[in-house]
Amino acid sequence: MRETKPGAELEAQFDQLQRKLVPLWKSIEAFNQDPQTIVVVPSMSIDLAGAGAVVQAYEERYLFLLLLLRQPRARLIYVTSQTILPNIIDYYLDLLPGVIPSHARPRLFLPSPLDGSVRPLSQKLLERPRLIERIRSLIPDPNRAHLVPFNTTNREKELALRLGIPMYGADPKFFALGTKSGCRKIFQEENVPHPLGHENLASKDEVVEAIRQMRARKPSIKQVLVKLDEGVSGEGNAVVDLNGLPPSSDSKERTALEDRLKAMQFELKGVTYDNYMKKLEARKGIVEERITGEEFRSPSVQLRITPLGLVELLSTHDQMLGGPSGQSYLGCVFPADSAYAPLITREAAKVGNRLAKEGVIGRFALDFVVVRSNGKWDPYAIEINLRKGGTTHPFLTLQFLTDGTYDPEAAIFTAPNGKQKFFVASDHVESPRYRTLTPDDLFDIVVRHGLHFGQTRQTGVVFHMMSALGELGRMGLTAVGNSHEEAKALYTRAVAILDQETQGC
C-alpha cells in the first residue's frame, strides 16, 4: 500500500518538480534536438455529457501532439482510456513534415488502462499503480520529461508526483482564478471591460437579489445569463428573460423575478430547474447581463505563460456557437476579424500579465463578446479557461504543420514561404449517416476527393475525433486555406462530400 505523505511535504515535492521545467524549457527553446519525453494525459476532469465514445474521442482530440515527434530525439507517451486504432496513428504520423514515419514510430508509446467508463482518465491511472510504473519505465530521464494534461486538478497533480516529472499546466491551487466568479474578480481588478453582473452566488435568493440590483442600476437590461462557476462550453449556462417585468421599484418585482428564474432556458438538454439550482448551491455561480447587438461576435484569445514567466499571445479566433441560445461551442475560425482582434489581444494581455504574477504557467484562453455600435467595436471579457480548449488543437495543428508564426497586432499568421494561413475547425461534424463510416472509409473518401492536407501547398483538411464515427456519427476537422474564403470553401466542400458519400445509408 502506498504511503500517504502530509500535505505540506507533497506541496514542497511538487514545487521542486515544477522548478525542473525552467532548465528543460530553456534547453527546448535553444536546441530542439535535445532529448525529451512528453507524457500526454488528456484527462477530462470536467462535466462531459455523453457516452464513453465521447470521452475517448475527446482524449484523441489532441493526437496532433504526435507531430512533436518531428523533433528527432523526442519521445511521446500518449495515454488514452481505450486503445487507439492503428490506422488513426498512421494517419497522424503520415502528416509529419520532414520526418520518416518509421523513424518516429519507435519513439511513440500508447499505454492504456482499457477502461471505457466516463470517469476521468487521470483517476483511472491513479487506480493502477502497475500502469504508472510502466509509464515511468518508458521515461529514460525524468529530468528531461514533463506531463501535458488537458486540464489540471489535484488528480493530475498527484499523477505528476507519482510519475516524478513536472506538469506543464496551472497548479490546481489556481483553480479559482478560472471559475466564472474568479474571472469576474480578475477583470474588475485589471480594468478589463466585462458585463454588468454579480459573482459568488449560491442560492435562488442570491440570484434574484443580484438581478434586482442589476435592473435598478440598468433598467434597460432585457436578458441575463446565469452561469455555474465550473461550467464548460456553455453547458452550465441558462438564459433568464426580463422583458415585460414590473419596474425595479415595484413590490411585485421579486415574485416576478422568481417566476422568470424558474422558467430560465438551459443550454444543456435535459437539465431541470431543481438539479441546476442544486449544482449552483454546491458550486456557486454568477449572473451577468447578456450582451446583445445588431453586430455581435464571440472571439477568443489564446495565450500561454512559459515556465520562465513570459506571457505569449498565441492566436485569436472567432468562435462558432450553437445550441438552444447560441452559447455552446461548436468550432472556430482563425484568425479573428482584424477589426477587433488587436483590441481583444490587448485586453487579454492584461489578464495574462496578472496570471503570470500569480505564478500560473501553461496554455489558457480568454473568451470575449464584441458588439459594434456607431462603427466602433466594444469588447467584453466573459471567461478565462485555465486549460486547453476547443481552439488549442486546430491552432497547434496549423503551427506544427506549417512552422508559421502569428502576429497579434496585425492578426496575421504567416508560413515561412510567406503565405498567410487561415482555418475553419469544428468538433461537431456529425450526422446519423456518418455512423456507417469507419476511419478507413473516411481515409478512402479523403484521398479520392483530394481533401488530404498537402505539404507542398500547405492547404487541405485534417480530421480528428475519428473514433466517435461508428457509435455517434461524429468527428472533427480543420480546413486550412490561404485565405478565409478558401478555408471556408474547403470546410464546406468536405462536409458536402461526406454527406454525398453517405447518402442513402
Structural domain spans, the chain: 7-172, 196-289, 293-404, 421-505
Q: pLDDT tens digits, the chain, 505 residues: what are they?
A: 445 566 788 889 999 999 999 999 988 776 667 899 999 999 886 555 556 678 899 899 999 999 999 999 999 999 999 999 999 999 999 998 888 899 999 999 999 999 988 889 999 999 999 999 999 999 999 999 999 998 899 999 999 999 999 999 999 999 999 999 999 999 999 999 999 999 999 999 999 999 999 999 999 999 999 999 887 655 689 999 999 999 888 889 999 999 999 999 998 888 899 999 999 999 899 999 999 887 889 999 999 999 999 999 999 999 887 666 555 668 899 999 999 999 999 999 999 999 999 999 999 999 999 999 888 899 999 999 988 777 888 999 999 899 999 999 999 999 999 999 999 999 999 999 999 999 999 999 999 999 999 888 899 999 999 999 999 999 999 999 999 999 999 999 999 999 999 997 6
Q: What's 421-505's CATH class?
A: alpha beta
Give the whole-angstrom CA distance, residue 316 versus residue 113: 36
- Contact assessment for residue 393 and residue 386, using Cβ atoms and an 8 Å cutoff: no
**Alpha helix segments (H runs only) across 127-221:** 129-137, 154-163, 180-189, 204-217
Amino acid at 250: D
118, three cell numbers: 466516463
- Contact assessment for residue 461 and residue 476, using Cβ atoms and an 8 Å cutoff: no
99, three cell numbers: 520526418
Q: How far is CA 497 from CA 57, 289, 383, 492, 500, in A?
A: 22, 41, 36, 9, 5
- Contact assessment for residue 277 and residue 236, using Cβ atoms and an 8 Å cutoff: no
Q: How far is CA 218 from CA 53, 154, 191, 288, in A?
A: 46, 41, 20, 12
Q: Which residue has the cell 500502469?
A: 131
Please tell me if the domain spanning 293-404 has the same topology as the one spanning 421-505. no
Nearest to 192 by CA among 182, 184, 200: 184
452: left (phi over 0), alpha (psi -120 to 50) or beta: beta
Q: What is the CATH number of domain 293-404?
A: 3.30.470.20
